[in-house]
Structure 1
Amino acid sequence: MPEEQGHFQRAITLFDAVMLVTGGMIGSGIFIVSSGIARQVGSAGWLLVVWLLTGFITLAAAVSYGELAAMFPKVGGQYVYLREAYNKLVAFLYGWTLFLVIQTGVIAAVAVAFARFTGVLLPWFSETNVLFQVGPLALPFRDTPYTFQFTTVQLLAIALIVGLTAINTRGVRTGKLIQNIFGSTKLIALFGLIVLGFAIGVNAEAVSANFHHMWDAARHTAGQPTVPLSSSALVLAIGMGMVGSLFSSDSWNNIGFSGDEVVNPQRTIVLSMAIGTAIVTALYLLINLMYLMVLPLQGDPQATTLAGRGLMYATNDLVATAVAESFLGPVGAYVLAVLIMISTFSCDNGTILSGARAYYAMAKDGVFFPAMARLNKAGVPGVALWVQCAWGCLLCLSGSYGQLLDYVMFSVVLFYVITIIGIFVLRRTRPDAPRPYRAAGYPIIPLLYVALASSFCLILLTQPETADFSRRGLILVALGVPVYFLFGRRFARNTES
């Protein structure tokens, strides 16, 4: 293998790490997904419960996962933790899924969201503005003809991914600078929106409507009668609603991928995950409370006013935009578009920076393409960054935001469960190993996370709305087994040569 031209630089401080955690977690989801959650659970109280439960699960995962991060503060993060707790095969299955859909799926979905909101300011970027089309084509495995359309939204999404990848190949200091600027701007702007909403947007009628019967759970579907939820149905509805909230709270672990680039990693990684997840959880609860103080939760999809449509039927599910328009007028749509563009830009930058480090670690272990095990002159895995970029761009050309979300969340939570179980495995197999940090509340909190997250995965596998995508996600993981045995030795030979 050619000699590496650079080396990792310990440049990520605690502030940088917190910006990576919060910047990666806050994308476009918090501005959108509450609409879908509202339709699932049907009341203000249960909407807040979904976000509270999501916050608890995320914090429980972070304070548990920190034990592994402190034990193995190396580039590769979760891939390394799984390798040390289990073996290379389990770690490869995670890395394989990370590359195919988890990290690259998030990169693609967030880039598409950035492009869609750019269209609010520049209408040329629209999913109805088709640059070219292929088809319709009759394919043997499809009942209906297939048509591929390339839109200006896809063009901008791909341009964003390519541009941010190019920036991150210039070194970790460049990548973290972008993250710090846009991440801090995003936090300040989001806090400002919350303050404005409480200061000038509170609507007495909305408050009364939302909190008078705040525990009356029901499922709302446009054009169909409202269905009151029994206790068991409510549990399922909460689980389904958490697809969106967990997606909005994910990527808290990305800082672990950059272990060898973090200053004092045993302390910084753990602390940044705890601080970052706490900040984001608090902001998410506050912004949802603000939504409920400004607009009624329930509404009519045929209504022509913001209050008439309510949170659950906000146009295109743009809850934050509807809320901002209600107290800022038409300019609110533009304000939110700019905020979401900043948010998604920061989110994609952090996700792109982090993910390539995992593929580098896989390649160094001889289980992935050897070229990815090289650092460029700037001390970053340049080849891994560009391969990640290429696959993320391809994902932008296929599937919708919702489809990517469903694929991503099942795979993400499945591997979080396996990773947290790894804490118990390592306590048994390596009882004397140095543990600079021990999982808070062990064994109760880690076990509680495993139980709740496993229940979430089970709901996704059994509910008609998500079962198909979740099973496909499981198949993608399983396909990694033959890939590992077919190509693992070849990768290893090439790495050693």
Structure 2
Amino acid sequence: MENQKEEGAVKRKLGLFDAVMLVMGSMIGSGIFIVSADIMRNLGSGYWLIVVWIITGVMTIAAAISYGELSAMFPKAGGQYTYLKEIFGKMMGFLYGWGMFTVIQTGTIAAVGVAFGKFTAYLIPTLNDAAPIFQSGGYKITWIQILAIVVILLLTYINTKGVEGGKILQNIFTGSKIVALIGLIVLGFLLVKTNFWSGNMGLGWKAFNNLNTDAAGNFIKSGWQSISGMTIMGGIAAAMVGSVFSSVAWENVTFVSGEIENPKKNIVRAMVLGTSAVMILYLLVNFVYLNTLNRDGIAFAVNDRVAVVASEQIFGSGIGTIIMAVLVMISTFGCINGLVLAGSRVFQTMAKDGMFFKAAITNNKNGVPEKSLWMQGIWAAVLCLSGQYGNLLDMISFVIVLFYMITVFGVIYLRIKQPNLERPYKTWLYPVTPIVYLLIGASFCILLLMYKQQYTWPGLIIVLLGVPVYFFINRKKAV
């Protein structure tokens, strides 16, 4: 009876619009407002800045189109975890879930939460000026971190009250930030007094790395003529760490498959529509940066907050800062909500498979996995206090793409191994689309292994630590 009640409590309450809002809301966090500064420092040219975002966009949309085939075949809660488990076995699914809980999902929630706190400090300067609550050597706990924790726990609590509450919040905040971004894009071309577009784009391809001779792991030391093709690619891969991280989390919609109406069709539609719309917005926002700021203004924006500097050029220093701070607060708040809503469903699905704490299995009276939500929220709060979440997220970009590649390869693998399986949706332009992703993704990962090892090995070690944990969990089953 209890199981029947639990199953009956899971109702499909998310339509296509809600799913698209979840995709877009989970993707648009704080990255688009910050990472272009680092990309410009690495590459030194408006051309290369746009190239990085276009490559990232092609990657993201190709992955979403490929995932669509799997989402239609396995329309269950758990999404990517379920796909990897069904295709490659329980261990691969567990390693993904382990990475998600330890840092990918919870670390992202923590980092975006702190970004919310930092931009709130623009409106409330005392948050920046206040003495740390605790400090020991280089480690400290600040009021910004506490605000991040409050927001994470508040959104966790709201999501325990049912899908409806989380859905309404998601739609409101995602809609608000889309409108605000479109407004910023339009006004960035209409109101700006000094136009830097021709200057930035006039630098051409030969401006590669003029700003930072340390872009691709100290391999670039002089001008264009001495730069090898591999080193250029290494610089691009290093620069892409930020754009890739800004463009992940779209797969969160697959985690809540059990609550989406007509999942075999709506999940793939939501992923393709959502990722395409976000990548277009990202590209246009970067056009605004190139129109309103010169390349030094983009590259050396204070604290990398290039969006704030651009907003000051558009609206004036006083109101511009306030407008951008509010926009980022809206953006990060909605992003955290989407991540909180979706991630807990993966851990619940893992628990049902005996791969996570049993307490995460049950739904509360509102039909949501309350204990799974709180486990996720509490660990994300701990990461807020660790002081290491930002570094972990930089390092994990490699692992995120690695898991994307394994999942996309699963589309090809299943086509070969089980060609007769029912496929309600087939990947558009197969096999070109998954191969395009695999080629770009493999180049990205290999080049990072060569030129930016600090982005790769720590993330791999975190995931590989899951191997002994997996065998420990399954020790009794093997007997």
Name the TM-score class by shorter chain. Answer: over 0.9
Equivalent-residue separation in structure 1 for 2:476 and 2:193 (angstroms): 63
**The one of 117, 130, 140 aligned to 2:119:** 117
Q: Spell out, residue by residue over 1:342-394, the C-alpha distance to the aligned partner (whole angstroms, 9 max, x if none).
A: 00000000001000000011011111111111111111111110000111011
Q: Is 1:180 equivalent to 2:167 in the alignment?
A: no
Distance (Å, rounded) in 2 between the aligned partners of 1:443 and 1:31 = 35
1:214-233 correspondence to structure 2 within 5 Å:
214-216=204-206, 217-221=208-212, 227-229=222-224, 230=227, 231-233=229-231
Measured against aligned partners, the alpha-carbon deviations of 1:460-481 in whole angstroms (never above 9, x if no partner) come to 2222xx4134201111111111
Contact 1:171–1:380 under 8 Å retained in 2: yes
- Give runs of aligned pairs for residues 60-99 of structure 1, distance below 5 A: 60-99=62-101
Does the Cα contact within 8 Å between 1:202 and 1:293 map onto a contact in 2?
no
Gap change, CA 1:400 and 1:481, over 3 Å in 2: closer
Residue equivalent to 1:259: 257
Residues 231-310 of structure 1 mapped to structure 2, 5 A cutoff? 231-297=229-295, 299=296, 310=297
| Structure 2 residue corresponding to 1:351, chosen from 334, 339, 351 | 339
- Alpha carbons 1:4, 1:374 under 8 Å: kept: no
Contact map agreement 2:139 2:387 (CA 8 A) in 1: no
Q: Following the alignment from structure 2 to structure 1, what is the Cα–Cα distance between the partners of residues 315 and 84?
A: 48
Counterpart of 1:315 (choices 295, 302, 320) is 302
Q: 1:4 to 1:170 in 2, by over 3 A?
A: farther
Is residue 327 from structure 1 mapped to residue 314 from structure 2 by the alignment? yes
SS in structure 1 opposite 2:386? coil
TM-score by length of 2: 0.94
CA separation in 1, counterparts of 2:324 and 2:368?
34
Query: 2:149 — aligned with what?
Result: 158
Amino acid paired to 1:192: G
Q: What is the Cα deviation at residue 459 of structure 1? A: 2.2
Following superposition, the deviation at residue 278 of structure 1 comes to 0.8
What corresponds to 1:144 in structure 2?
Answer: none
Query: Aligned partners of 1:491, 1:3: CA distance in 2, in Å?
Result: 24
More helix by share: 2
The code of the aligned residue for 2:209 comes to A
Separation of aligned partners in 1, 2:383 and 2:302: 26
Determine helix, strand or coil for the equivalent of 2:139.
Answer: strand
**Aligned pair in 2 of structure 1 residues 401, 482: CA closer, same or farther (>3 Å)?**
closer
SS in 2 for 1:126: helix
Distance 1:112 1:293, change over 3 A: same
User: Is 2:233–2:447's contact at 8 Å kept on the other side of the alignment?
Assistant: no
1:2, distance to aligned residue in structure 2 (A)? 6.7
Q: Deviations over 1:116-146 (max 9, x none)?
A: 000000112228630122x34xxxxxxxxxx
2:379 aligned with 1:391: yes
Where 1:367 maps in the other structure, the secondary structure is coil
5+ residue gaps, structure 1:
137-146, 300-309
Matches of 2:314 and 2:20, distance apart in 1 = 32
Counterparts of residues 138-157 of structure 1 (less than 5 Å): 147-157=138-148
Deviation at 1:252, TM superposition (A): 1.0
SS in 1 for 2:279: helix
> What amino acid is the match of 2:347?
Y
Alpha-carbon offset, residue 74 of structure 1 = 0.5
Match of 2:203 in 1: 213
CA distance in 2, matches of 1:342, 1:103: 20
Q: Distance in 2 between matches of 1:492 and 1:380?
A: 32
Change (3 A) 1:491 1:132: farther
CA distance 1:490–1:75, shift in 2 (3 Å): farther
Assess, with a 3 A threshold, how the Cα gap between structure 1 residues 264 and 158 changes in structure 2: closer, same or farther.
same
8 A Cα contact 1:5 1:376, kept in partner: no
Residues 240/353 of structure 1: CA separation in 2 closer, same or farther (3 Å cut): same
Structure 2: gaps (5+ residues): none
* 1:453 aligned onto 2:441: yes
The answer to whether the 8 Å contact 2:397/2:455 transfers is no
Q: Distance in 2 between matches of 1:158 and 1:492?
A: 40
The code of the aligned residue for 1:218 comes to N
- Counting aligned pairs with the same residue, the percent is 48
Q: Give, in angstroms, the shift of residue 457 of structure 1.
A: 1.5
Aligned residue type for 1:107: I
Partner AA of 1:167 in structure 2 = I
Output the CA distance in 1 between the equivalents of 2:97 and 2:340.
Answer: 15
Deviation at 1:208, TM superposition (A): 3.2
Query: In the aligned structure 1, how far is the partner of 2:77 from the partner of 2:106?
Result: 18
Identify the residue that residue 140 of structure 1 maps to in structure 2.
none
Paired residues of 1:10 and 1:262 also in contact (CA < 8 A): yes
Choose which of 467, 471, 474 in structure 2 pairs with 1:485.
471
Q: Deviations over 1:47-95 (max 9, x none)?
A: 1000001000000000011100111011000000001111011100000
C-alpha separation in 2, matches of 1:15 and 1:63 = 18
Q: 2 CA distance for matches of 1:401 and 1:39?
A: 23
For residues 333-412 of structure 1, what are the structure 2 equivalents within 5 Å?
333-400=321-388, 402-412=390-400
